[in-house]
Structure formats: structure tokens, C-alpha cells
A and B are shown apart, each in its own frame.
Chain A
């Protein structure tokens, strides 16, 4: 599609006299790109929190099989007996799923908007000055991480591609059996292609976070020249911690440190 003149020639007048349709407040906010960026940011923060605590929780792996499995059991029985077993976890999961959905919907609609904003690309090579690999590949890193997430769930949550997932184990000294999470992870990462995919996906997640975590400040207008230099450091630090923590698991398994 070429860049096409849509406006006819002639006088321009009364351009600001039309009224916008009234919508409920949240939908109204979400109707503009600036509003959608808020949604990207809020959902991003929620998922950043998840990724960080997921990584920290998994560090229990280094405390041995019992430690990790007990941690997993603890998550399963959050707030028990106030709530039935598994409920709180599913509520949290539900929250995450809706965050993910909103994040995806906002990303999808913004991408569409942006495609529409430049239907004809530059015909010569662009010479980008500031835009970096991370900022320009958000869509791709996002999609690959999403694909990884699906695999990751099939692997370690639903056990579709992992025969060890879902098996129960009774650790020494325990009264009841718990899910053998540790064993299923070890089994999974002993498959080299799986470990490799895991490492690559996490590096891409890091790249996604490197831009995303910085971007949040800008999108939320949390901007103060005094602190602007810190936001980049925060994003870099956050992305690095998550990536180093996560990538250490398959490497530890492959290296036999965990097993």
C-alpha cells in the first residue's frame, strides 16, 4: 500500500468540533495508544514480579530435591486451610493469565496501529541512531518467549512432553508424598535440545526485559532527569539477574551440579 492522500484539497475548518464517543473510564483509557502503553506497562510489571519470584523460588533447587519439592508443595497449599489446596495458586495463575492476555492484546493492537502508520516502508536502508536490538525486536523476543512458555508449561506443569512431571515422591522424614518437581526438572534438562531452548529463550526474555523494564518508566511518565540515568541501570540489572538465575538451572543440571 502506498502512502495515499486521503484528504481532499480545500478549506480546513471546524476540525476540533466533533465530540468523542463516551466510554466507560477504563475502556476510554485503553482506547488510545498512550492508554494501551499503560496496560503494557502494568501487565509488564506484574509479569516481571512473577518472573523474578519464579527465579528466586527455583533457587531452592540448589537446596536439593526435598527443598524444591517442599517449596512447590508450599505453593500448592498457600493459605490452606483457609482456602482449599491449589485454589490460591490457581487464582494467582488466573491473574497472570489475564495479565498475559492483556499484554498480548495491547501488543497486538499497537503493532497493527504501527503497521498502519507506515504502510510503505523506507525504500533505502535506515540508519538507526538510538533504537537498539532490544527495542526493535520486542515483538520477536516476545513471541519466542511466548512459544517457550507454552513448551515450558507442557513440560513442567502438564507433563505432556515430560514423563516425570506429576509423579509423587515421599522425601525422607515426610508424612505425605509431594510432587516430584525436582526430578522432573532434572529429567527435562538432561535432554540437551530442551536445555538449549531453555537457555536461548531466557536470553531473549532478558533482552525483552532490558527494553521493557526501562520502557515502563517512560510509559508511566515516571520521569525525572535526576533519576533518568538510574532507569537504564535498573533495567539492565533486573534483566541480568533474571537471566543469570534462570540460565543457571539447565547449566547446573548439564554440568551435573544438580541431578
Chain B
């Protein structure tokens, strides 16, 4: 009996992934043929709440409103256009095979499953690859100015982890252009009355009545007012939890609160230890730094990564002769070279920096060198491709990448883990859906480049509008609890108590201080490389720091007007609880896979060593009343189409 079977037998929650019948390539079509529909005239009788207005949220809200559902959309930003999807630079994958280089839906599916280190659900990934084609069509129709070739057709580029060119891009601002496309479609519905938009409003609780998600409790960030909203279905498209590390490429306000509050109400949280470290970020320059900035992975198309061979190197990059440079990605992974997947290249960089070969004043980076590309392509072509990224680098680092190589280092970037969802993107709480980075569904243990945008839009445009209808159809004309239900009142009251409590502690340290300290622990022990010993230590340090947070936090101001310190306190609180679960999950997963690298489990060459016998499952955690005592549930993963194999990029 394998560990997976053993754990499965102990499940406290029934995890039905609802994967449709048939061969993997037919599952989505089968699902659509068999799903229940809501008559167009009846759609307006249903209210759907969408929390978050990034790619997944905005596209879901817009599409649902177009179909005729009443949509209430919530964002804690001032505008629906600000979500962090906007910062994605590189591109979006689409299995269009416009380049005629052998791409297909199957290949994108295969690459994603393999890239995810065989820890994702085949059926979900295949659907993602299928709809990737529709996404490109949809976004072009909306006027997203994707890069074009001179003949007027769409241009593609290649990306880490793939051997075909299937990435559509709009300069280094693909995420921005896609989000604006979705935002415009969303705004059209706000204008037409299909969507009611609540801006600067943060979700602070989910209300579950008789086992079904019935609505949410929100806090108006401007007035501090706490109120309830009831609906037939609730979609959480609230992004990932990368800010648990404090220093990450996430925006300052990104947080886990919505997902975490759902988790505390019974939704399972899956694979929290699967966090992605992005290999090309600008290294930290000083201790006051508030965030790290990502440099698009597309830079690796033309940039060469190297470090000096000599750890005591003091010369400037350009003065170091060729033979004293170690182009380690090209050396270690000849077939993928500088385009090796994110986790692989990140760890390679870490090893060299740990070995003292790092560059820069803090010796905390590796070079990404464009001199060869500038020689080969000319300054103008390089500027055309990466000009805005180079400018951005120069503004931040104060160095000109046309002359000196960029310095880069891995940083926390994306979280593959998230709320457990079934094939319909519904959590284990009926009526509660999770989309985009907030769910765990498609990327397994590691996400390929240019796939996040694809997944967000896939969920919002082409999956949720169908699956929500399927879920709502049986509820037609059935009574629904309103916001006067005692559960809503109780949740509001609990939220009030919670926020007043932060104000009442009156300690000495700001929420930022705790966030920074929390981030350090998680980065040190649950970052790029994890050990049993380290994780155990983190699980001692975290509760102690959390205790200090609860007694020594200082939140100034009041709860009746805009108070960013108070908002932050609530988010940091949830990060603490999540942090403990991340470490616990990492400790329990005795293997290395994708973004989860346990030093005890590696090959002789230092590559991740999976344990498919015991860990080929999703770890879905149930809230156990205290952040340190979660209950583990597992969903075994079956690979029928792509055969389990060791991931090799050599």
C-alpha cells in the first residue's frame, strides 16, 4: 500500500474531481455536451459575485454579465484595471502552431504536464491547452495589440520550458494589454448595467449556509463599513499568495485573505508548498527594499546567463575573459540552455551564488549578458525587443544593460498552490468557485512561462461561464438566504471584532515589520530549497512570531476611515496562518518536484527527485481550527496520457 493510498483512506472530506468520461482529448467536449443549461431568460434571476478583477475575475465577470447573469464584482483596488495580472511581461501561450514548428494542443498539454513535474490533473491541463486557441482569437478581437510581423500576421516567441514558439506578446507588456482588454470588456458591462462594481472593497469573509456558499462579507476600505452580499455563486479570482515571502515580484497589496477566509470556512487549500521562484528578477539592493522586480523571462531568449569562474573575481563584467566565465545553463542543460525551466534555472543560480560566485555589490546575482545578442542582431533589434525592459532595469538598478550585463537572481513570483477545485473550478464548498492563480488546478508543481495569463483567461472566459451555469441550473426558483440571515450577521460581527482587535493591541511594531520578519523565515526555510530540519525550525519560529504579532502589533488610526495600516494588519495575519500551512505541506511532501525542492531528495547531479509511488497526489488541507493543526486530504493523480517520466532538460 502506497502512502497515497494510506492517506486517501484517511480523507476527512470527499474529494470528487468530477473529471468527465472519455479520452483526455474529448473530456471537455463531453462535459459541455452533458452540462445543464440555464435558459437565457432565467439567467437574470441568478446573482454571481466575482471577487477580484484581474484576468480571471474581469473576464469571468464580463462573460457572465454578457450571458445575462447579474454580476456583482468586487475589487480592493481603485479601479478594475489595476490587478497584478497587469505586470506580466513576457506573453501568453496559445497552441496555434502559427509558426509551423510542430506545436499542437497535445504538445502544449504535454509540455504543461511535464513542466508541472507530473503533479497536475491531466484533464484540467488538456482543457487549458484546448481553449488557449480561443483565448488568442478572443483577445485579438478585442483589440489587444499583439506584436505582428511585417506581413501583418501575429508574431510568436519561444519561452522557457518549450521547444516551439507559441508565445504571443505585446512588447514587454503582454499582461497589461490582456488585462486592459478584459477590463474594457468588463467596463462595457458596467456601463450597460450588467455588472455592479464595488471598488476599494475588500473581501473579509465568506458565508456558508447549509453547506453552500451564500455570499461574502466585505469591508469598504474608504469608510471602514462592513457589509454583506448574498449571491447564488461566489467566484474568488483573488490571485496568489506569493507575498507570504514579503519580498516577491507580487504587487504590494497582493494577499491571501480571500482564499484564506474561504479555507477557514471549509474550503480545502491544495499544495501550498508549490511556489514558483522566477529566475530573472533584479537582486535585492538594500534592506529597506519593499519588493523585487521581475525582468521578463523572454530576456533569456537572447541573453546568456553566466557567473565568473573565480569566486573572488573583482573585475568588471566586460573585463572578464570568455574562458573565465561559466555559462552554466548552457553547460548543464545543453538542449535547453538559457531557456531551461524556471525551477531548474533558479536552483542553478542559487547553487552558484551559495558557492560565492555571485555578482554585484552584495554578490547576490548572476549576469544576464546581451553583448553577444547585440553583436549578432544589432542594437536596434535588441532595443525593439527589450527596450522597455532595459529602461526599467536602468531606472531600478542604475546601470545600462546595453553596456553592462544585467544582474539577476531568482525571486518568489507565482504560487501554483491554491484553493482546491474540481474540474468545474468549484471548491469543495458548493457554490464557491476559484479561478486564476487563486486555485491550484493547472500548473502542478511548477508553472511554465507565459501560462499564467493563459490560465487566468481560460478560467474566466471559457470555463467558469459554462460550469457556473451547470451549477446554477438546479437552483432555479429555489429560495436563497438573504443578508438578513443570522450567518451573515455573525460573520459581519466576527469581522468587526477581528479588525477592532488589531486596533486594540496597541503594541510597538508595524504590520510591515511583522510581514518582513515572516517573509524572512519563509524565504529562508521554505524558499528555493527546503530541508526537513529547516522546515521544522520554521514551524517553531512562525508560531512564536505570530504570538508576538498578536500581542505587540501597532495599528494607528481608526477603523472608520481609510486606514492602510489596518488593511495590512488583516492581510499579514492571514499570511502568518498560511505560512504555517506552507511549511507543514513542504515538510509532509518527502520528495522534490517542480517548485518544491527538498535537499534530501535530489539526484547525484542535484536535480529534483520525485517519489511517484508515494506522492503522486494533491495535498489538500482542511482547516483544523488552528493554523498548526490542519487535516490532510489527498487526491491521487492518475496519468493516462502522459507517462510519468523524469523531467530532463539536458
Contact = CB atoms under 8 A, between A and B. Distances in A.
A17 B196 contact: no
B222 A13 contact: no
B487 interface: no
A17 B197 CA distance: 15
Interface residues of B, number: 16
Interface stretch (B187-195, B328-336, B363-371): B187-195
Interface residues of A, number: 9
Interface of B: 72, 188, 190-199, 220, 222-223, 225
A124 to B, nearest CB: 23
B220 A17 contact: no
Interface in A6-49: 9-17
Given A13-B190, A15-B190, 13 more contacts: A9-B220, A9-B223, A10-B198, A11-B196, A12-B197, A12-B199, A13-B193, A13-B194, A13-B196, A14-B190, A14-B192, A14-B193, A16-B192
Contacts of A11: 72, 196-198
B81 to A, nearest CB: 14
Given A14-B192, A15-B190, A17-B191, A9 B197 contact: no
Contacts of B191: 14-17
Contact of A17 (B72, B193, B195, B225): B193
Contacts of B197: 11-13
Nearest to A16: B191
Contact of B195 (A9, A10, A13): A13
Contacts of B225: 9
Contacts of B190: 12-15
Interface of A: 9-17
Contacts of B194: 13
Contacts of B223: 9
Contacts, number: 32
A16 to B, nearest CB: 3
6 contacts: A9-B223, A12-B197, A13-B196, A15-B191, A16-B188, A17-B192
B79 to A, nearest CB: 10
B117 to A, nearest CB: 43
Contacts of A15: 190-191
Contacts of A10: 198
Q: Is the interface of A mostly helix, strand, loop or mixed?
A: loop
A12 B53 CA distance: 14
A17 B192 CA distance: 6
Contacts of B196: 11-13
A258 B471 CA distance: 95
Nearest to B72: A11
3 A-B pairs with least C-beta separation: A16-B191, A14-B193, A11-B196
A15 B225 CA distance: 24
B410 to A, nearest CB: 39
A10 B223 CA distance: 11
A26 to B, nearest CB: 28
A17 B188 CA distance: 10
A12 B188 CA distance: 12
A11 B72 CA distance: 8
A15 B196 CA distance: 10
Contacts of B195: 13
B188 to A, nearest CB: 8
Nearest to B201: A9
Nearest to A11: B196
A11 to B, nearest CB: 4
Nearest to A13: B196
The winner among A13, A14, A16, A17 for most chain B CB atoms within 10 A is A13
Contacts of B199: 12
B228 to A, nearest CB: 14
A6 to B, nearest CB: 14
A12 B189 CA distance: 11
A16 B190 CA distance: 8
A125 B197 CA distance: 37
Nearest to A15: B191
A17 B190 CA distance: 10
A10 B191 CA distance: 15
Contacts of B220: 9
A65 B72 CA distance: 81
B185 to A, nearest CB: 13
A78 B477 CA distance: 84
Contacts of A17: 191-193
Contacts of A13: 190, 193-197
A59 B567 CA distance: 74
B643 to A, nearest CB: 51
Contacts of B193: 13-14, 17
B222 A9 contact: yes
Contacts of B222: 9
A239 to B, nearest CB: 37
A8 to B, nearest CB: 10
Nearest to B189: A13
A10 B222 CA distance: 11
A194 to B, nearest CB: 57
B521 to A, nearest CB: 38
Contacts of A14: 190-193
**Interface hub of A9, A10, A15 (most chain B Cβ within 10 A):** A9
Nearest to A12: B197
Contacts of B198: 10-12
A11 B198 CA distance: 5
A47 B161 CA distance: 67
Nearest to A17: B193
